[in-house]
Amino acid sequence: MSKPMKLAVAVAFGAGLAAAIPAHAQFAKPEDAIKYRKSVMFIQGQTLPRLGAMAQGKAPYDQAQAVANAETLAFTSRLFPAAFGAGTDKGDTRALPAIWSDPAKFKKYQDDLQAATAKLVAAAKAGGGADALKGPFGEVAQVCKGCHDDFRKE
């Protein structure tokens, strides 16, 4: 696909999303959206290491906890997209302008995060123990890191 074509697709898809979830109806003020996405990321930042500790044998494996924490990551990942609307690039945020100048790349990370966290939930539910968590955990951590490297100020 050519670059302009990719952009057209991304814009069309973005417009579809916007129709389904009108950003203006979600947040009264841009700073609410910023605080909302930071709240989501704080919860995720507290949750991911719990799974990492289990995957790496630093904490005892507990399937119910693994499932609950994986589900928290999966659910909260779906709360992200609406919180990066127009006007939320300024203020108390480390979000880089590239989020809005390269929306297709940013959206890819969001899709990847949803896919990776879904795999983590499946792995936890399947009951393969700590070893089965390792791969999916690594994949989720990699998506987090990639997105932060590309789209978050140091």
Q: How far is the CB of 98 from a copy of itself (least distance, A)?
A: 25
Answer for which of 48, 50, 144, 147 binds a copy of itself (CB under 8 A) is 50
56 in contact with a copy of itself (CB under 8 A) = no
User: Which pair of structure tokens corresponds to residue 127?
Assistant: 């009951």
Q: Which residue from 15, 75, 91, 94 is in contact with a copy of itself, where contact means CB under 8 A?
A: 75
Write down the least CB distance from residue 7 to a copy of itself, Å.
27
- Candidates 78, 95, 81, 91; CA nearest to 29 is 91
Q: Confirm or reject binding of residue 46 to a copy of itself (CB under 8 A).
A: yes
Task: Specify whether the CB–CB gap between 116 and 109 falls below 8 A.
Answer: no
**Pick from 8, 21, 86, 126: which binds a copy of itself (CB under 8 A)?**
21
With CB under 8 A as the contact rule, the residue among 10, 59, 115, 141 that binds a copy of itself is 59
Q: What angle do CA 47, 130, 150 make, to 5 degrees?
A: 45
Nearest C-alpha neighbor of 69 from the set 49, 87, 88, 85: 49
For a copy of itself, the closer of residues 5 and 25 by Cβ is 25
For residue 82, the Cα-to-chain-centroid distance in whole angstroms is 11
Q: Is 64 in the site for a copy of itself (CB under 8 A)?
A: yes
Long-range contacts of 3-12 (CB under 8 A, 24+ apart): 6/104, 7/104, 9/104, 10/103, 10/104, 10/107
Question: Residue numbers of the site for a copy of itself (CB under 8 A)?
Answer: 20-21, 25-27, 32, 35-36, 38-40, 42-43, 46, 50, 59, 64-65, 72, 75, 79
